[in-house]
């Protein structure tokens, strides 16, 4: 007997969306924050306090450069591109465990200029970002924040 799947579609369970991950890129400098460019925004007081609270991330000025929120898939990698349309900064992530509202484990990679510069196992907790000190850029440093996001469009 021949069996046909015509008319039946099977979803790949590995592609199930099990959460959202937000990636934000900041510019930090002790000099003039205008060097980051005109298309930047102020950071929230909460983020500024968190950044200043960590010695390696302590600078006089912070500006928000870009952000992206992408689905966290059960068994596949996802990519965030926070400086669209540029692909200068890319973050690849893949779930290591089923996320909860409190935490999840991720395989995390940071790519700059199409070169992998960091690979780590990360544990994200709640909406508390993991900050990664990036390279020098325009008279300051890039800081990449990775966090669990409550939904695809956090502002909506």
- Quick check: is 88 in a domain? yes
- Per residue in 12-49, is it b (16+ CB within 10 Å) or e — as a string? eeeeeeebbbbbbbbbbbeeebeebeeebeebeeebee
In the chain, the number of structural domains is 1
- Quick check: is 91 in a domain? yes
pLDDT tens by residue, 128-139: 899 999 888 888
Instruction: Tell me the average pLDDT across 141-149.
Output: 92
- Quick check: is 97 in a domain? yes
Q: Domain of 55? A: 16-149
Asked whether the predicted pLDDT for residue 70 surpasses 80, the reply is yes
- Quick check: is 6 in a domain? no
pLDDT tens by residue, 72-83: 888 789 999 998
- Quick check: is 156 in a domain? no
Rounded to the nearest integer, the mean pLDDT of the chain is 85
The total of other beta-carbon atoms located within 10 Å of residue 137's CB is 18
Structure confidence at residue 151 as a pLDDT band (50, 70, 90): low
- Quick check: is 1 in a domain? no
- Quick check: is 73 in a domain? yes
Burial of 138 (0-12, 13-18, 19+ CB in 10 A): middle
Question: What per-residue confidence (pLDDT) applies to 8?
Answer: 52
- Quick check: is 109 in a domain? yes
Supply the pTM of this predicted model. Answer: 0.82
């Amino acid at each position: 007997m021949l069996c046909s799947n015509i008319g039946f579609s099977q979803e790949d369970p590995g592609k199930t969306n099990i959460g959202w991950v937000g990636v934000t890129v900041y510019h930090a400098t002790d000099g003039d924050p205008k060097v980051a460019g005109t298309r930047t925004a102020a950071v929230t007081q909460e983020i500024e306090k968190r950044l200043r609270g960590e010695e390696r991330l302590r600078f006089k000025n912070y500006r928000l450069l870009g952000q992206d929120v992408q689905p966290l898939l059960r068994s596949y990698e996802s990519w965030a591109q926070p400086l669209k349309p540029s692909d200068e900064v890319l973050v690849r992530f893949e779930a290591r465990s089923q996320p909860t509202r409190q935490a999840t484990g991720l395989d995390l990679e940071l790519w700059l200029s199409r070169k992998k510069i960091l690979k780590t196992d990360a544990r994200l907790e709640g909406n508390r970002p993991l900050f990664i000190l990036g390279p020098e850029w325009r008279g300051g440093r890039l800081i990449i924040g990775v966090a669990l996001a409550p939904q695809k469009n956090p502002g909506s």
